[in-house]
Amino acid sequence: MKEIFINSDNIISPIGSTTAENFSQLKRNVPGIKLHDDARMSEQPFQASLFADENFFINDGSVITYTKFEKLLMASIAGALAGSSIPVHDDRTVLIISSTKGNISLLENEPLPESLNKRISLHYSAKLVSAHFGFVNQPVIISNACISGLLALLTGMRLIQSGQYDHAVVSGADVISKFVLSGFQSFQAISALPCKPFDVARDGINLGEAAGTVILTAGKNFSSGIKLSGGSVSNDANHISGPSRTGEELYLAIKKCNAGCRPCCR
């Protein structure tokens, strides 16, 4: 099987605009989660990791009005490409965009004209982002709830291994809006305090916004020294929000993933 290498990467979050900055902040225990009191998003104060200012994302003088989601995607892709020599304009390079919500916050606007209905579509945003950088292939869209990012990486890996492309720029982003926050609040899933996921007294989650980009390649000469060894997904088709009670499909995904890794990784 063709080996897949990581060429470059980027993370943009409220605590850093590069992967190195984010990692440094995490080591210093710098949290991105803060208490927000914004009536435009929630009647109640809420804990979340939000950008204070989106203007730094991208400012290229374009006549196109990009949404926050699109600007965040482009800023992360630009950050990853800055450390890469992958040929973006080559037909052997593909752009993969992943997101759980995309521009869904536009639904908060009333009324909903046809032009806005078109803008909500993920494929529309992907085409704008692709055109901004000059990708020649049609972008691939992955939107599969919480595993969107992981599935996008596996899709990039498989597209390269199948011989369709030599390089894949995989980028994902999500932003928080009233529409998104209210959905999680309706499930009573939001913690009133900074979340503590490994605590026996955990009481919910916090939401955050960020973007990440990983550039995959089959060219060892483009490698940063990190390899994507494998991965697997499964669909148990059990319930709209609940996994299989037996865990069989989860076991199957883990087993297939292990089978694709070298013995030392098991």
- The CATH number for 48's domain is 3.40.47.10
Question: Are 177 and 266 part of one and the same domain?
Answer: no
- Cα distance between residue 2 and residue 235, in whole Å: 26
Question: Are 220 and 244 part of one and the same domain?
Answer: no
Question: Are 253 and 199 part of one and the same domain?
Answer: no
Question: Are 71 and 107 part of one and the same domain?
Answer: yes
Question: Are 202 and 238 part of one and the same domain?
Answer: no
Question: Are 253 and 198 part of one and the same domain?
Answer: no
**pLDDT value at position 201?**
93
Question: Are 13 and 93 part of one and the same domain?
Answer: yes
**pLDDT value at position 62?**
64
Pairing of strands 93-98, 167-174: parallel
- Which carries the bigger pLDDT value, residue 232 or residue 59? 232
Question: Are 243 and 223 part of one and the same domain?
Answer: no
Q: Does 265 have pLDDT greater than 50?
A: no
pLDDT averaged over the chain?
90
Question: Are 159 and 247 part of one and the same domain?
Answer: no
| DSSP-based three-state secondary structure for 217 | strand
Question: Are 146 and 246 part of one and the same domain?
Answer: no
**Sequence-ordered list of residues with C-beta below 8 angstroms from that of 39, at least 6 positions apart, any chain:** none
**pLDDT value at position 61?**
59
- Cα distance between residue 212 and residue 244, in whole Å: 30
| Residue 163 zone, left/alpha/beta (φ > 0; ψ -120 to 50; rest) | left
Provide the domain limits for residue 146: 4-228
pLDDT in tens, 163-192: 999 999 999 999 999 999 999 999 899 999
| Nearest residue to 72 via CA among 53, 93, 96 | 53
Question: Are 179 and 254 part of one and the same domain?
Answer: no
pLDDT in tens, 25-62: 999 999 999 999 999 899 999 999 999 876 556 666 56
Question: Are 160 and 254 part of one and the same domain?
Answer: no
Q: What percent of the chain has pLDDT over 90?
A: 68
**pLDDT value at position 58?**
64
Least reliable range by pLDDT among 115-124, 195-204, 216-225 = 115-124
Q: Would you state the structure tokens that stand for residue 54, as one six-digit string?
A: 């989106």
**pLDDT value at position 188?**
92
What's the structural domain count of the chain?
Answer: 2
pLDDT in tens, 68-85: 999 999 999 999 999 999
